[in-house]
Amino acid sequence: MAVFIHCADLHLDRGIQTPASISRDLENKLARAAYDAFSTICSEAVNRSVDFMIISGDLYHHEERSVHAQWFFKKQMEKLEKAGIHVYAVHGNHDPFTNEKAVRLPENVHIFPPEGDVLIHELPEEKVFLYGFSYPDKAYTASPMPMYKKREEEGLHIAVLHGQESSQEAHEPYAPFTVQELKNSGMDYWALGHIHEHQVLSRNPAVVYPGCIQGGHRKETGIKGACLVTMSREETDLHFLQSSEVVWTKAEVPIEKAETFNDLILQTGRLLPVTEKAVVLCSLEFQGRGNLHSWMHKNKQELHGLLREEFDQDELIVESVKLKTMQPLTESRSELAEDIQKITAELKEDSSELAEHLQSLLEHPSIRRHLNGFQQEELEDILNQAETNLLLAVQEEETK
C-alpha cells in the first residue's frame, strides 16, 4: 500500500486580483494566499506521514520564476525532507523545464526531465513506479502518450502528467489525451494537472485532477486543495484536503420581488455565503426582471459601494457586482424597442458577427496587453448591457 498527496498548479508567484479599499492585513493575506495554501499541504503531508508527494506541473506561474517563489518552495521541500518525504514533480506550460536554477533544491526532490523518465520509490512492502516528463517549452501540443510505456514489473504504476483531456475546450490543448488512452496504458493512477477544478475522470483506474491549490480570480470559484491518496493493488481511496484560505464564490440574487432597496438588501443578505475557515471573495450576480432594474444599471458603482458598506467584514468581501437584470415586462408599441430586442436575440444565437466587430478593438496595442479575447458568457454580458442601455433610452424618450 502507498499513501501520498497529489497536488498540482501551485502557481506560487501568481498574484490574486485584489479588491479595492481593503485593509492592509487582508491585502497581505491575499498576496500570500498561494504560499499559505502550499504550506498547508506540506504540513498535511508531514502530519499524516505520507510516503511521498506528487506535484503535477505549474509549480510557478511564470517561466521566469521569481527567486522569492523558488526559495519558498525550497524551504517547504526541506520541511518534507526532514520528515523523510520524497517529492516527484513535473513542470508544465507556465513553468517549462530549465537548467538555469537560482536555487538548489534538496535531495528529496525529483524533477522529471523533458525527455521523460521512470523513477522507482521503494516502500517496505511495495514498489512504486512513477512515470512523467516536464514541458520543454510553454506550448507543448504533441500527444504525451509515447512518454508513458508501462514496465512489465509487479508494483504500483503512477503516471504524472500536466495536460488536457481532449473534450475539455476551456483551456489550451496542451499535451492532449483521451480518458480511454489513459485507461489503455495499464497505469494504476493518473496524477493529472493543468485543469484548475477538482475532477475525477475515472475511478478504475483513478484519473484525477486535484485542481489548483488556491483560486486566483473570480472564475476559479470554490474550495481548492489537494488529494490524499491511499492506494493498493486492489483499490484506490481519494480524500480531498482543503488548502485555500481565500475562496472565490458567486451568489445569484433574483430581483423580481424587490420593490425597494431595503428589499434588495434583505434578499442579498439571505443568499450571501457563510464564511468558514477562509476569507470569502463573493461576486454578486443580480438576475431577473424587476422594478429596480433601471436604477441598478444607472447606479452600478454606487450600488457596489453600498453593498460593500453593508456586508463587508473581516472574512467576507463583496468583490464585484454583475447585473443580468431586465425591465419588468410591459406592453410597448415601439417598433424600435422590438427591433432592439430582436437584433439582440439574433446576436445571442450567433455572436460571430459581434466577435468580428470586436476583433479590431482586441488588435489595438493598448488593449492586446490586457485581453486575449472574449468568452461566450462575456459576449452575452456585452449584449445584455447594450440592450438594457438602448431600451432605457427608448423608454425615457417615450415618457417625455
Instruction: Provide the pLDDT for residue 329.
Output: 62
The percentage of the chain sitting over the pLDDT mark of 90, rounded to a whole number, equals: 69
Highest mean pLDDT among 39-43, 139-143, 274-278: 39-43
Instruction: Give CA–CA dist 168/195, Å, rounded.
Output: 9
Q: Closest Cα partner for 278 from 317, 304, 308?
A: 317
Residue 331 above 60 pLDDT?
A: no
Instruction: Give CA–CA dist 239/82, Å, rounded.
Output: 24
Instruction: Give CA–CA dist 284/301, Å, rounded.
Output: 13
C-alpha angle with apex 109: 226 to 39, nearest 5 degrees? 40
Place 359 in a pLDDT band, splitting at 50, 70 and 90. Answer: confident
Q: Which position has the higher pLDDT, 167 or 182?
A: 182
What homologous superfamily does CATH list for 2-242? Metallo-dependent phosphatases (3.60.21.10)
Phi, psi dihedrals of residue 127, rounded to the nearest 5°? -115, 130
Q: Which position has the higher pLDDT, 286 or 173?
A: 286
Residue 370 above 60 pLDDT?
A: no
Cell digits of residue 220: 476559479
Instruction: Give CA–CA dist 394/17, Å, rounded.
Output: 37
Place 387 in a pLDDT band, splitting at 50, 70 and 90. Answer: confident
Q: Closest Cα partner for 224 from 243, 250, 248, 251?
A: 243
Residue 94 above 70 pLDDT?
A: yes
Residue 63 CA to its chain's centroid (Å): 19
Three-class DSSP category at 12: coil
Question: pLDDT tens across 290-316, in order?
Answer: 999 989 999 999 999 999 999 998 889
Tell me what the mean pLDDT of segment 91-115 comes to.
Answer: 93
Three-class DSSP category at 11: coil
Place 399 in a pLDDT band, splitting at 50, 70 and 90. Answer: low
Amino acid identity at 398: E
Are 281 and 247 spatial neighbours (Cβ–Cβ below 8 Å)? yes
Q: Range with the lowest mean pLDDT among 132-141, 258-267, 384-393?
A: 384-393
C-alpha angle with apex 339: 337 to 342, nearest 5 degrees? 110
Tell me what the mean pLDDT of segment 175-184 comes to.
Answer: 96
Tell me what the mean pLDDT of segment 141-145 comes to.
Answer: 95
Instruction: Provide the pLDDT for residue 396.
Output: 67
Instruction: Give CA–CA dist 273/283, Å, rounded.
Output: 11
Are 133 and 110 spatial neighbours (Cβ–Cβ below 8 Å)? no
Residue 369 above 60 pLDDT?
A: no
Instruction: Provide the pLDDT for residue 376.
Output: 76
Instruction: Provide the pLDDT for residue 372.
Output: 64
Q: Closest Cα partner for 52 from 113, 127, 116?
A: 127
Tell me what the mean pLDDT of segment 222-244 comes to.
Answer: 97
Instruction: Provide the pLDDT for residue 315.
Output: 87
Instruction: Provide the pLDDT for residue 23.
Output: 85
Phi, psi dihedrals of residue 35, rounded to the nearest 5°? -65, -45
Q: How many helices (H) and strands (E) does the chain have?
A: 11, 15
Instruction: Provide the pLDDT for residue 175.
Output: 94
Place 228 in a pLDDT band, splitting at 50, 70 and 90. Answer: very high
Q: Which position has the higher pLDDT, 199 or 389?
A: 199
Residue 80 above 60 pLDDT?
A: yes
Tell me what the mean pLDDT of segment 118-145 comes to.
Answer: 95
Instruction: Provide the pLDDT for residue 365.
Output: 67
Mean pLDDT of the chain: 90
Instruction: Provide the pLDDT for residue 154.
Output: 95
Residue 132 above 90 pLDDT?
A: yes
DSSP 39-83: HHHHHHHHHTT-SEEEEES-SSSSSS--HHHHHHHHHHHHHHHHT
Instruction: Provide the pLDDT for residue 19.
Output: 80
Residue 31 above 70 pLDDT?
A: yes
Instruction: Provide the pLDDT for residue 386.
Output: 83
Residue 75, C-beta contacts closer than 8 angstroms, at least 6 positions apart:
none
Instruction: Give CA–CA dist 131/151, Å, rounded.
Output: 10
Peptide linkage before 205 cis (omega within 30 of 0): yes
The percentage of the chain sitting over the pLDDT mark of 70, rounded to a whole number, equals: 94
Phi, psi dihedrals of residue 371, rounded to the nearest 5°? -130, 130
Instruction: Give CA–CA dist 85/246, Å, rounded.
Output: 27
Q: Range with the lowest mean pLDDT among 7-11, 315-319, 383-387?
A: 383-387
**Residue ranges per structural domain of the chain:** 2-242, 245-329, 334-400
Cell digits of residue 392: 432605457
Are 251 and 285 spatial neighbours (Cβ–Cβ below 8 Å)? yes
Q: Closest Cα partner for 89 from 102, 106, 71?
A: 106
Q: Which position has the higher pLDDT, 384 or 291?
A: 291
Are 342 and 305 spatial neighbours (Cβ–Cβ below 8 Å)? no
Are 213 and 226 spatial neighbours (Cβ–Cβ below 8 Å)? yes
Q: Which stretch of DSSP H or E encloses residue 106?
A: none
Instruction: Provide the pLDDT for residue 255.
Output: 96
Amino acid identity at 131: Y
Instruction: Provide the pLDDT for residue 4.
Output: 98
Amino acid identity at 132: G
Instruction: Provide the pLDDT for residue 261.
Output: 93
Place 100 in a pLDDT band, splitting at 50, 70 and 90. Answer: confident
